[in-house]
Structure 1
Amino acid sequence: MESLTRTLPASWFCSPPLYQLERRAVFLKSWHLLGPVTRFQDRSKSLLYEIAQITLIVENNSPESAGIGIEGITVRAEDESVQIRTHFTPSGLLFATLSLDTPSFPDFFVGLENLTNTVDFTKLPHRRSISYEGRFNWKTMIDGFQECLHCQYTHPTFSKYYPPTFYSVSNHSNFSQHIADPSKPNDGLFLYFFPICTLNVYGGGMSSFRTLPSTNPGVSRMEFDYYHAGTEEEFEEYYKFVRQVALEDFELCEKAQENLERGVYGEGVLNPAKENGVAFYQQKVRKAVWEQHNKEKAAKLAEEQGNGKLEITVEGKSVTL
């Protein structure tokens, strides 16, 4: 039992100070999916993205005659003191950072474009976006997305098309590929981008969501974008299907968060085969947070020593010398 990967403790889903560490350790050092270029074709208005309390502004300044392309699409932080970077994949996906303290895109997402280049994301027009709050930590939602043990019972409609018997997750540098049916390798592309973004191409359409953290660790904001090339009737049928899955997950996450906050669940072990996706991302969060904590602790100690002060722990109490 000791060899199995343990989950993050419940406190990591409920602690405001822990979230602030996550913000510095994870969110400010990651690449975040904003969407395919078809999301940014309305030249008349800017799009705002708030991620971990940093607002990004996306504008398309190209002429209407330019059609769909990356030329003219710019991203900047609302706060002029914040510096960011952007990256367009050859297939038409736009990613951005929240700071310059992030590895290069190829180093962060090693091999990702080999997968995303199999889809031309310029062909599916943006049809609808929705946003609403949920009473759960951002990790509670990612826990659910990164495994499908719950699918047979929570998503009966989805399971008819993608039986959980064959469902598997393949983890890479900072992303995961979900494989619904190995006998149908071209039937859908399901991707998770660490830490909070997803992209799902199946059923004739495409959807993505971001689980955006707030300073209250028990609350997140869900943002969904939907794309489809069919008729209005075909899109509405697709939308109804994918929204049903999303609402089923939403209810499950709110119940799970309630149990975390009430102490019903504290910590456990993960199934190495069926929950490897959860283990993958949770271990990345754990490692990043501890590295950030140790880095900041060392910096504080060095500063105190430089000021002629030293903080030590004596019998469980912090003492400044």
Structure 2
Amino acid sequence: MSSLTRTLPASWFCSSPLYQLERRAVFLKSWYLLGPVTRFHQVGEEVKYEVAQVSLTVCRRSDEPRDISILNETGSEVKSCITETGLVFSTISDEAPPFDEFFSDLKPLIGKVDFTKLPHRRSIKYEGKFNWKTMVDGYQECLHCQYTHPAFSVYYPPTFYTVYNHTNFSQHVADPKKPDDGLFLYFFPNCTLNVYGGGMSSFRVCPTENPGFTRMEFDYYHEETGAKFEEYFKFVRQVAMEDYELCEKAQENLEKGVYYEGILNPIKETGVAFYQQRVLDMTLAQHDNETRFHPVEMHKTSTSKLGTATQLIDPASS
């Protein structure tokens, strides 16, 4: 019998040296959803972002919605992509591969929605006491939804909830018989997009230099204003805060040693296995590349941890 997939160990959610390695391995080599073109609705207004300690400034330069500049903290233009249906993606480093290589099979899926028709209504941000992966864990699995998101489960019952993993993104489908009933996407490593109920929300899970703290950034879009938008906003905020509370409790258990690692459900947690494997593969590749010139301590462990791999050990915790 093949071994079951296991989670990343707790040290990967608590270690500063491991986060710095993740930053070089994952974040500098990825693409990020900044929003639809409607997020940048005022000519000349600067919208600020920060991903993995890299600052970006986005500005719409003219009345043409797609005339958008994205500059890093040195004032240099970064690699970006505006899709045919109006989503704006950016990198934070020249180390990222081309967009169509990173998300090779994404465009047909997002081509089903005209994102230029959803006006930006509100953005909020705040910090949480959890690692960025703790939040992604919660989004990428569907075991907890019925218990922690009772209102959401009324509209999207978890019985047939399925996660389809693609090249650096996942699609969540509440009912495989109704694939067009809402669009729920996770973009590796830390962005989401949720289109349902006449509106759209997205969030970015932004790691800080402290692995136990994460900044959450939310953007909300809707066809309507006034009471209809506020009703939608109240509903999606309730779901977000339910996840927030769950993540803080999970991180506390990780840091106290209550939980070290575990087995992932082979049916309901394929989304978690998918993204954690990507983190592991990219981090190990970065580590191997760097240790060709700067050897550091390594320790081999079980080959059942997210496939055949080695576990990086934080020397400070040894």
Q: What residue is the counterpart of 2:266 in the other structure? A: 272
For the 8 Å contact 2:44–2:61, the answer to whether it is kept is: no
Tell me whether 1:75 sits opposite 2:88 in the alignment.
no
Aligned length: 299
Runs of 5+ in structure 2 lacking a partner? Answer: 299-318
| Equivalent residue in structure 2 for 1:285, among 269, 279, 299 | 279
| Equivalent residue in structure 1 for 2:128, among 124, 134, 154 | 134
For the 8 Å contact 1:83–1:99, the answer to whether it is kept is: no
Give the 5 Å matches for 1:25-64. 25-63=25-63
Percent identity (aligned): 65
Show CA shifts across 1:52-87 (max 9, x none).
Answer: 000000001104xx4xx20x211010124x662000
Cα distance, 1:225–1:312 mapped onto 2, change above 3 Å: closer
Tell me whether 1:195 sits opposite 2:197 in the alignment.
no
CA RMSD of aligned residues (A): 1.7
What is the DSSP-based 3-state SS (H/G/I as helix, E as strand, rest coil) of the residue aligned with 1:149?
coil
Give the 5 Å matches for 1:76-225. 76-80=71-75, 84-225=78-219
Q: What residue is the counterpart of 1:319 in the other structure? A: none
Show CA shifts across 1:128-168 (max 9, x none).
Answer: 00000000000000000001100000000000000000100
CA–CA distance in structure 1, aligned partners of residues 254 and 68 of structure 2: 42
CA–CA distance in structure 2, aligned partners of residues 118 and 60 of structure 1: 25
What is the CA distance between 1:45 and its match in structure 2?
2.0
CA–CA distance in structure 1, aligned partners of residues 146 and 61 of structure 2: 46
Q: Residue 104 of structure 2 aligns to which amino acid in structure 1?
A: V
Q: What residue is the counterpart of 1:228 in the other structure? A: 222
What is the DSSP-based 3-state SS (H/G/I as helix, E as strand, rest coil) of the residue aligned with 2:164?
strand
What is the CA distance between 1:2 and its match in structure 2?
6.0
For the 8 Å contact 1:137–1:220, the answer to whether it is kept is: yes
Cα distance, 1:312–1:91 mapped onto 2, change above 3 Å: closer
For the 8 Å contact 2:81–2:90, the answer to whether it is kept is: yes
CA–CA distance in structure 1, aligned partners of residues 72 and 136 of structure 2: 26
What is the CA distance between 1:204 and its match in structure 2?
1.1
Query: If you compute each CA radius of gyration, which structure gives the higher value, 1 or 2?
Result: 1
What is the CA distance between 1:175 and its match in structure 2?
0.2
Runs of 5+ in structure 1 lacking a partner? Answer: 302-310, 314-321
For the 8 Å contact 2:118–2:221, the answer to whether it is kept is: yes
What is the CA distance between 1:185 and its match in structure 2?
1.9
Tell me whether 1:13 sits opposite 2:13 in the alignment.
yes
Show CA shifts across 1:240-262 (max 9, x none).
Answer: 00000000000000000000000
Question: TM-score normalized by structure 1?
Answer: 0.90
CA–CA distance in structure 1, aligned partners of residues 97 and 128 of structure 2: 31
Q: What residue is the counterpart of 1:304 in the other structure? A: none
Q: What residue is the counterpart of 2:307 in the other structure? A: none
